[in-house]
Structure 1
Amino acid sequence: MAIRADRSRAGLSTPQCQTEFRAVSDLDSGLIAAWSDLARQVSEPNIFYEQWFLRSALDHLDHLDHQDDIRLFLLWSGEAGQSQLLGLLPLGPVGHYGRWPVPHVQNWMHHNCFLGTPLVCIGFEQVFWENLLSALDSSEWPGFLHINGMTINGPLDQALRMVCDGQKRRCDLVHSEARALLQSDLSADAYQRATLRGKKRKEWRRLGNRLGEKGDISYGHLLDDRDLDQWIDEFLALEKAGWKGKSGSALDCSPDTSAFFRQSVTAAAASGQLERRDLRLDGKPLAMLVNFLSAPGAFGFKTAFDEDYSRYSPGVLLQIENLKFLDLRRLEWIDSCAAQDHPMIDHLWSDRRHIGRFSIELHGLQNRALFRGVRLGERLMGKVRKRRIFDPAEGQS
């Protein structure tokens, strides 16, 4: 059953707004349509919370991450389910905070979800946080709110800090990392010259020429569903043949993650948000990548390469080809979704996107005591480990 909270009872601004915690088993066609409309007018795009991707994850991965009580927090402009959807965030109660047995509420993410920023309609960022925090203050869920993987210093972060400051509510950035971002007004060639040393560019040209001596090289770039099932089969086989397959972490090592990948890529193609690139030698794939598009940006989702040809760096050669994204001028940026200090993409892409985890205090004596105790413990451990958290919103650690 959905848990509902009427904003008009909270005495806040825009009293016509209503909030709803909807079970993920209760996704009707009306919500799906409203969800799709919301994704086209958000202040910060996040394909990982768009309906086609999140539904794919919920169909196949929710039990893998031990989240049995996921709800969609929904902010409606008027009557729930009968008005414009203004905001959405999947979340639920969690029993542990890291290794500590501390109950709290957290946005739902999984191993193949690389951003946790809520979907919020432009101009309603503060309204979204006011409603979410008010609803959680009066809910049965204990502890504090933890937002994992949110863009730092973006519109949603700025609005959250402003709301918490106005309500005298603690909002702490507890972890931050920087990952590679491709964003430039330069052409692909000019970007390479500005970013990469001449010696490196010469080396990669040499590797490409040497690989060309082995046979016919071709670069593929697809934005539709042409031969998609075969392409997916090739990608899964290519990834599994490498170190991920040996370690058991390749998508095709599990029927759940394999089905999730197939469904999400197929759904992205159906919604016009799929970009595929590949490097082939005599028709055989040596490197493949998947980007998901969500204007004004894109997200690098998965890459794979043939490790038998690692001496030619096929993954790097394909990423150099991927720089032609800059020449198309259809979108403004690509988030690599890679780990911080990635040994390959960090050298190719010079910009960085800062992603962080935020812990937010909920009202109530018990909740506040729990939150402040946890934060005290984190600060003490941070000092022992000499951990520094860089906050680009404040320009300091």
Structure 2
Amino acid sequence: MTSESGGPSEADARLLDPLQDDLPLVAWQALSEDAADPNPFFGPSFLRPYLSHMGRGRVRLLVVADSLTGQWLMAAPIRSRPVGLLVPVPTTFTTDYGPVGTPLLHPDAGAIHVQRFFQAAAGKSGILALPHLPLASRAAGFLMDLEEADVAVVERSYRASHDCGAKGQSQFDDAFKGKRRKEMKRLLRRLEDEGPVSLETIEGDRLQAHFEQFLALEASGWKGRENTALASKSQTADFSRETVAAMGSAGHVRIDELRVGEKLIASLVSFVDGGHVFAWKIAFDETYARYSPGAQLVLFTFQQNLAMQGFKLADSLAIPGHSMIEPLWRGRRETGLLLLSSGSTATFKNRICSADFALEQTLRRLARDIRKKVRS
């Protein structure tokens, strides 16, 4: 984007309260819709309901706008918190409910706007952490090319995804062939002995009613027993209902379902944004586990994605190594924790934060090992 004189437009950076009443939601939503790297979790339809009901301290929305037109060119929620256990630094705000850390970046934005974003986010500390950042994104490319910053990718991980077009079809064919294809079809035939089987995609006016059915299905399983289902707590139930209502009204929610007769036995809620599909939440009836209802539905969703007009990429949002989805969605999306530091001690700051993160990960692994031994 250029000014009337032909040079780069001036960039104005502001920190805003994402819940303030007079926030320019139209400008925020427009940037979310147009972002070069779709990220529904940084848009107003997700972030405002989340912060309203879930809290999480002092989160501010950092906005870089064109100082002449006021158009938003880059935005992300920012909060100061430890990268690991001990060292609090400005960090783009991601959660387990939205593990995508890509700043919203307008296609017309350039290096000058990304540089202004980093300067404003890092502030006096001279450091910024960006967790869960898809490293192949346009925003990540700009950030890692910042001349004034020392760049460190502390952790790289790969989660299940799938592509579009011929590459996506090849991934589907590889996943659904041979013994697996034969077994999945056999299980589906056995499931038909229980009643008429149907696979359907829900959109539009029916979304909210079917999301209530998803909530009930999720709460009936192990997540309900462990009190981690969305419906287990009023905060998560209210946040999720508001999010699905807001995003659904704009055509950004899809629910894929597997039923036996009228009985819902598997449901997958996805967010659809800029040709990207984010598989947000899945649930299935455990009494039908022998028929692999979750896997059946994930394969159906794969086909629905490939048939979707304008489809570009599907992100499972699943933890790396997920036993059910990784054998079925054969693509991989690389994400990482990106550290950016400036100043004479930039390299030292990145090393301190990297060590802090490594310490936390080590303690987490030890805790998991202890829990496994106790259970066994």
TM above 0.5, yes or no, is yes
Task: Quickly say closer, same or farther: Cα 1:206–1:379, change in 2 above 3 A.
Answer: closer
1:368 Cα deviation (Å)? Answer: 6.6
> CA 1:83/1:205 → structure 2, altered by over 3 Å: closer, same or farther?
same
Q: Within the alignment, does 1:345 sit opposite 2:338 as a pair?
A: no
Instruction: Find the counterpart in structure 2 of residue 24 from structure 1.
Output: 18
- Cα distance per residue 1:224-253 (max 9 Å; x no partner): 122x33312211111111111111111111
- Residue 103 of structure 1, CA deviation: 2.2
Partners of 1:321 and 1:121 lie apart in 2 by: 33
C-alpha change, 1:125 and 1:307, in structure 2 (3 Å) is: farther
Which amino acid counterpart does residue 11 of structure 2 have in structure 1?
Answer: C
Match of 1:93 in 2: 80
1:156 matched to 2:139? The reply is yes
Q: TM-score, normalised by structure 1?
A: 0.83
* Partner deviation per Cα, 1:256-311 (whole Å, 9 max, x = no partner): 01111111111111111111110111111000011111112111111100001000
Query: Do 1:120 and 1:128's aligned partners in 2 also have CA atoms closer than 8 Å?
Result: no
SS of 1:342's equivalent in the other structure is coil
Contact 2:84 2:358 (C-alpha < 8 Å) held by counterparts: no
Q: How does 1:272-291 map to 2 (within 5 A)?
A: 272-291=251-270
Aligned counterpart, 2:156: 176
> Contact (CA 8 Å) 1:136, 1:362: kept in 2 or not?
no
Query: What 5-or-longer segments of structure 1 have no aligned partner?
Result: 1-12, 386-397
Q: 1:245 & 1:330 partners in 2: Cα distance?
A: 36
- Give the counterpart of 2:30 among 17, 20, 37: 37
Q: Percent identity?
A: 27
**TM-score (normalised: structure 2):** 0.87
Displacement of 1:57:
1.0
Q: What count of residue pairs does the alignment treat as equivalent?
A: 358
C-alpha distance in structure 2 between counterparts of 1:310 and 1:344, whole Å: 12
| Distance in 1 separating the partners of 2:170 and 2:350 | 49
Partner amino acid for 1:99? L
For the 8 Å contact 2:29–2:43, the answer to whether it is kept is yes
Distance, in Å, in 1 between the alignment partners of 2:216 and 2:360 is: 43
DSSP 3-state at the match of 2:327? helix
CA deviation after TM superposition for structure 1 residue 27, in Å? 4.8
| Superposition deviation, residue 125 in structure 1 | 4.2
**2:211 is equivalent to residue 232 of structure 1:** yes
**2 CA distance for matches of 1:256 and 1:187?**
40
How much has 1:108 moved relative to structure 2? 1.1
Judging changes above 3 Å, is the alpha-carbon distance between structure 1 residues 57 and 98 closer, same or farther for their aligned structure 2 residues?
Answer: same
Deviation at 1:43? 1.4
- Aligned partner of residue 317 in structure 1, secondary structure: helix
RMSD (CA atoms)? 2.7
Matches within 5 A, 1:318-337: 318-324=297-303, 325-337=305-317
Shift of 1:379: 7.3
Query: Is 1:187–1:327's contact at 8 Å kept on the other side of the alignment?
Result: no
Question: What are the Cα deviations for residues 117-160 of structure 1, in whole angstroms up to 9, with x where unaligned?
Answer: 00010142422321022224545xx4621111111132111111
Matched, 1:135 2:120: yes
Output aligned runs, 1:193-272, within 5 Å.
Answer: 193-226=173-206, 228-272=207-251
Q: Deviations over 1:325-368 (max 9, x none)?
A: 21234312211111111111111111110011111114376x77
Alignment partners' CA distance in 2, 1:375 and 1:188: 35
In the other structure, the counterpart of 1:70 is 59
Partner of 1:390: none
Deviation at 1:114, TM superposition (A): 1.8
Do the aligned partners of 1:184 and 1:191 also contact (CA within 8 Å) in 2? no
